[in-house]
Every structure is written in structure tokens, then in C-alpha cells.
């Protein structure tokens, strides 16, 4: 379907850095699992047709239950992921029938509709897009001995985030090619760069944090309180 949009929400990671028995995406934020906050933002987008949640095999039943409990009616599939994030994204994409796919981290619940729409519009203009923020700190390249080997120009450096948006008909074969050649990218934008596609960076907000450590969870609680309402 032309100009139709689907999203794959990736939440299959264990998240050992959080130091909790429960996976980070299922920890409570304002009385609801983090993953439900994230899904809810996408579920409310009037122009988004379908949502796929990729999670751990053992977590599929409870996630399906939550999808029903919280009325997430755009979720068309809850499926188990692979050993690597790249495998999980690939499995999720195969469940979609839309022209465009947005890939988003399940532990980024503070994404806003405005950021998602900006990412959508940039992808439709250029062919692919990724949300990101300019790097604030001076970055150092360091060798194995801990010695600085270079200082890149900060003005050219951006921290990539999600969502990332692509044509499904282009991203799927790139994933297949990467799998056949044993190439692993740290995100889908890297795969598309590797395949020679242009990808536009869209400036997002620094509040679109990825919750991976206890400190992130504390900051997430602060952000939620500052908003004066639950993140949904």
C-alpha cells in the first residue's frame, strides 16, 4: 500500500547493565511497563497502520496480554526475536505489509509524535532517515593502550537514536544480503549506509533517552514527573 507506514518495536534484549532480574523493557514507569509507554505513543498515531512487537520468546504471552489490556489495537503481531538485534528487526519486518517501516527501541518511551513525524517526512523526501542529536561532548579516539589517537570535529558528530525509517522493499533485501555475507551493523542506518543508500539525520530531542542503566531509570522517572503526567 503506497505511503502506508508500519513500525517494528524491538524489545528482545536482556539488558544486563540494568542489574535487575527483570528485563529493562518490562520495568515499571508510572505504574506501567516501559514497553507499553513506548507502544502507546505509536499506537496513537493516526497515520500509522500496523505495529509489530519483537520480544523474548518467554515474554510473548505476557506482552500479548498487555497489548489486549491496554487496548493497543494497531499491534498486529507479537513475536520472538533472534540472538542479535539485527535478527529481531528482520523477523519483525517480515510481519509487515506497509510500504514504509519505522524501527524503534522499546526502551525509548519519551519519543514524541512530532519527532516520529519529522523522521517520517525526511524518509519520504530522501528515502531513509534516522533520528539523532548533535554530540555535546568532545569525542576522543583511543587506542588499545588508552592513548588518544585523534579528536574528531564535534560539529560533524551526531548520536544516532530511533526511530529510523526506510522503505520496506529496500531494507528487507539489505538485511538478507547482510545475513548472507556475515555483516552486522549496530543499527539499521548502518546497514543501509553499507549498502550504499543515503540516510538523512533528523534532529530529535535529548529527552529521547534509551533506558539501559539504573541512572537512566532515575532520569526517566524525573522526566515523567516533569511532564506532570504519565508517559503513555
Q: Does the CA dihedral 55-37-30-17 come out positive or negative? A: positive
User: CA dihedral in degrees (157, 202, 27, 34; nearest 10)?
Assistant: 170
> Is 140 within the bounds of a domain?
yes
Calpha distance 44→223 (Å, rounded): 20
88-142 confidence digits (pLDDT tens): 999 999 999 999 999 999 999 999 999 999 999 999 999 999 999 999 999 999 9
| Per-residue confidence (pLDDT) for residue 48, from 0 to 100 | 97
Number of domains in the chain: 1
Q: Please provide the size of the chain in residues.
A: 232
Evaluate whether residue 174 is within a structural domain.
Answer: yes
The model's confidence at residue 22, banded by pLDDT at 50, 70 and 90, is low
Most confident range (mean pLDDT) of 2-16, 170-184, 212-226 is 170-184
Q: What is the DSSP string of 144-204?
A: TTS-EEE---GGG-EEEEEEEEEEHHHHHHHHHHHHHHT---SSHHHHHHHTT---EEEE-
Provide the domain limits for residue 95: 5-227
Contacts of 230 (CB under 8 A, 6+ apart): 30, 31, 32, 37, 224
Give CA–CA dist 27/101, Å, rounded.
27
In a domain, 101, yes or no: yes
pLDDT in tens, 92-102: 999 999 999 99
Note whether residue 232 is domain-resident. Answer: no
Q: Which of these, 198, 160, 195, 196, lies nearest to 178 by C-alpha position?
A: 195
> Is the separation of the CB atoms in 55 and 81 below 8 Å?
yes
Q: Report H helices in 44-112.
A: 60-69, 85-93
Q: How far is the C-alpha of 203 from the C-alpha of 77, rounded, in Å?
A: 30
Instruction: Compute the distance between CA of residue 55 and CA of residue 95 in angstroms, rounded to an integer.
Output: 14
In a domain, 67, yes or no: yes
| CATH code, 152 | 3.90.550.10
Count the helix, strand and coil residues of the chain and give each as a percent rounded to the nearest 5. 40, 25, 35
Task: Quote the pLDDT of residue 163.
Answer: 98
pTM score, whole prediction = 0.91
Amino acid at each position: 500500500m503506497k505511503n502506508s507506514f508500519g513500525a517494528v518495536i524491538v524489545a528482545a534484549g536482556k539488558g544486563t547493565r540494568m542489574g535487575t532480574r527483570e528485563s529493562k523493557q518490562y520495568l515499571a514507569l508510572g505504574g506501567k511497563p516501559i514497553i507499553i509507554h513506548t507502544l502507546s505513543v505509536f499506537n496513537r498515531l493516526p497515520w500509522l497502520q500496523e505495529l509489530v512487537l519483537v520480544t523474548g520468546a518467554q515474554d510473548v504471552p505476557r506482552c500479548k496480554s498487555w497489548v489486549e489490556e491496554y487496548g493497543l489495537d494497531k499491534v498486529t503481531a507479537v513475536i520472538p526475536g533472534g540472538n542479535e538485534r539485527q535478527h529481531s528487526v528482520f523477523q519483525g519486518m517480515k510481519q509487515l505489509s506497509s510500504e514504509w517501516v519505522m524501527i524503534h527501541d522499546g526502551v525509548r518511551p519519551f519519543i514524541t509524535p512530532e519527532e516520529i513525524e519529522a523522521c517520517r517526512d525526511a524518509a519520504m523526501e530522501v528515502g531513509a532517515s534516522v533520528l539523532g542529536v548533535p554530540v555535546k561532548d568532545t569525542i576522543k579516539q583511543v587506542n588499545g593502550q588508552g592513548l588518544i589517537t585523534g579528536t574528531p570535529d564535534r560539529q560533524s558528530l551526531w548520536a544516532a537514536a530511533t526511530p529510523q525509517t526506510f522503505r520496506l522493499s529496500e531494507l528487507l533485501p539489505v538485511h538478507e544480503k547482510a545475513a548472507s555475507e556475515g555483516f552486522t551493523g549496530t543499527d539499521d542506518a548502518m546497514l543501509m549506509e553499507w549498502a550504499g543508500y543515503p540516510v538523512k539525520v533528523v534532529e530529535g530531542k535529548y529527552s529521547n533517552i534509551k533506558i539501559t542503566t539504573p541512572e537512566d531509570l532515575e532520569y526517566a522517572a524525573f522526566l515523567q514527573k516533569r511532564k506532570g503526567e504519565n508517559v503513555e
